[in-house]
Amino acid sequence: MSKYDLTDKVAIITGGGTGIGRAIALEFARAGADSTIASRNLGNLEKVAEEVKSMGKRCLAIATDVRIPEQVDTMVQQTVNEFGRVDIMVNNAGASFPCPVEDLSPNGWDAIVNINLKGTFLCSKAAGKVMIGSKADSGAGASGALWPARRDSLCCNISGFGSLKLHHRGDPSGQGWPSSHCMIRADLF
């Protein structure tokens, strides 16, 4: 049993095939959520999906490279097609190369930035459009601002880069998405 109640919520969890992502998927299932788990390794995802299903919850495993906008859009659309909506977006996919910075290649750096930063942006943007309920641009300028209009939405960023502070003209608090690693709407639980 979970201390959280996510009954009938729908979550997307990137990096969901191993480690923290797997643990999140299992905890969300205990709490009552259905989920889509995504990563580049479908084999790992299928194992976790079976674990979630054995707990009586639905789970969709989708091979997705978060660096590729079309794959991210497809992941979100398949989630909506399967479950009807998205309530929670967990940006857990991440990359690192544990080495001294002077030994990190430009290709290694690009991989880190493209997965941890660009992937988080692409997933938040795609899921945020569904959470907002509109595919229209927020009108907030170049930042591509998003603010989930529904009070029961959540976006959690776990990867190693800080989040961007994004604003939406419809955000009554004026705070946008906080620049912390994790933004949770308290009334979700």
Q: What is the mean pLDDT of the chain?
A: 79
% pLDDT > 70, the chain: 69
In a domain, 189, yes or no: no
| CATH number of the domain to which 111 belongs | 3.40.50.720
Residue corresponding to tokens 């459009």: 129
pLDDT of residue 97: 87
Length in residues, the chain: 189
Name the domain count of the chain.
1
Integer Cα distance of 148 and 95 in angstroms? 27
**pLDDT classification of 154: cutoffs 50, 70, 90:** low
pLDDT digits (tens, 9 = 90+) for 70-114: 999 999 999 999 999 999 999 999 998 888 889 999 999 999 999
In a domain, 37, yes or no: yes
**pLDDT classification of 133: cutoffs 50, 70, 90:** confident
Residue 174 has pLDDT above 70, yes or no: no
Of the ranges 48-57, 126-135, 138-147, which is most confident? 48-57
In a domain, 183, yes or no: no
In a domain, 131, yes or no: yes
In a domain, 1, yes or no: no
Residue 39 has pLDDT above 90, yes or no: yes
Q: Give the domain extent around 48.
A: 10-174
In a domain, 121, yes or no: yes
In a domain, 72, yes or no: yes
- Residue 167, classed as helix, strand or coil, is coil
**pLDDT classification of 134: cutoffs 50, 70, 90:** very low
% pLDDT > 90, the chain: 63
Please give the sequence-ordered ranges of beta strands (E in DSSP) within the chain, or none if there are none: 10-14, 34-39, 59-63, 88-91, 154-157, 182-183
In a domain, 25, yes or no: yes
